[in-house]
Amino acid sequence: MLIHPFKGVENYLSPSFMMKNHIIEVVIPEDIDSGTELSSAYTRKKRVKIEADNSLEDQKGKIAGQKLTGLPDIEDFSYSKAKGSVKSRIGPTTKAKLSAVSMDIKKETVSVDLKKEATLSISINEGPPANWEKVLEGIRKMRSSDDAPVDSMGCEKAGSFLPPKERRFAVLVSSLLSSQTKDGVTHGAVQRLSEKGLLAADAIIQTEEATIANLIYPVGFYSRKAKYMKRVAEICLDKYDGDIPNTIDGLLALPGIGPKMAYLVMNVGWNDVQGICVDTHVHRICNRLGWVSRPGTREKTLTPEQTRVSLETWLPKDEWDPINPLLVGFGQTVCKPLRPRCGDCSINKLCPSAFKEAATPISKAKKTSPSKRS
């Protein structure tokens, strides 16, 4: 049957109220005519039954009987509104006073918008470090004698007597062999390869892997590097006619070639400075000088690649190429990994890490007891 809104209860029976709050069902006996005026009737008996399918008390009861078995799923943080129904049975003489009914079962929807990953990015951009130019000039003066191993045996020295194309490939091979290996050892391996004519892609392909491994021994991971050499030679011969890639991405696609080597080869082989070559010496010295830090922090960088990214944010680009041999040689002669020679360093007053390294421990076994002296 058609239900007409009662006077004074339009707000409770409006569609918006019913949709947002409750589903209200008003049941009227069939003997009441739809046009009957109910406002003149007196209340003899009023019975209101309230049913809440998902009442708060029921939910509390259910939760109390359960144990938390794990972290809630992200879906659990969005709760739907409780569905409720109010049934009012009105007799022939019952006056409709629904406005007096307390709607206490209204539930609020709690919605928590959680993101899977929240990242707080703190930008710390203070510009170049203080006195960096004085520090760099002081290191240049200490390196003026060119007496470090890198000055005569660095990767960029490989194949210096060869034509440009052959020299580029020689620099690539030398860079591949240099990882986890001292300059002197790498230089010796390159010399032996050169004597056998194995600084060209086509020659390497025709040589047994075991022969190459014996020639480059004792460079670090010589067996693996011999395999890499064969594969690199095949790629360069097939794709570049025996030359090397002329992009960073192309070089990084080669087996055994990482960022440090790729930037060095681009600088030396193609005279194209796209980034700073950061090896273990550059990484260590830049952290000791306080020149680099992890993104958004003032903490030391953890990897050479982090150092490269941080250093490139402020170091002028015309310094990107010379900074590698400069700091590598400085690290080989003065700012050594263990027991740096801070007393001989002319920039120790500008270095925040000066004299902070532990001194060389004196072995107790070498000490002679005064009582045992003759």
Report, as residue numbers or ranges, the catalytic residues.
260
DSSP states along 230-245: HHHHHHHHHHHTTS--
User: CA 227 → CA 193, 196, 223, 256, distances in Å?
Assistant: 15, 18, 7, 10
Q: How far apart are CA 266 and CA 275, in angstroms?
A: 9
The distance between the two most distant Cα atoms of the chain, rounded to a whole number of Å, is: 131
DSSP states along 63-76: HHT----SPPPGGG
Hey, CA dihedral for 262, 268, 272, 275, is it positive or negative? positive
The contacts found for 343-350 with CB under 8 angstroms, 24 or more apart, are 345/142, 346/138, 346/141, 346/142, 347/134, 347/135, 347/138, 347/139, 350/131, 350/134, 350/135, 350/138
Q: How far is CA 283 from the centre of its chain?
A: 18
Q: How far apart are CA 176 and CA 179, in angstroms?
A: 7
Rg of the Cα atoms in the chain: 40
Contacts of 155 (CB under 8 A, 6+ apart): 171, 174, 175, 178, 186, 261, 264, 268
| Residue whose token pair is 């960096």 | 132
Q: Helices marked H in the chain — which ranges?
A: 10-13, 15-20, 56-64, 132-142, 149-153, 164-178, 183-195, 201-205, 209-216, 222-240, 248-252, 259-269, 280-288, 304-312, 323-333
Q: How far apart are CA 97 and CA 8, in angstroms?
A: 8
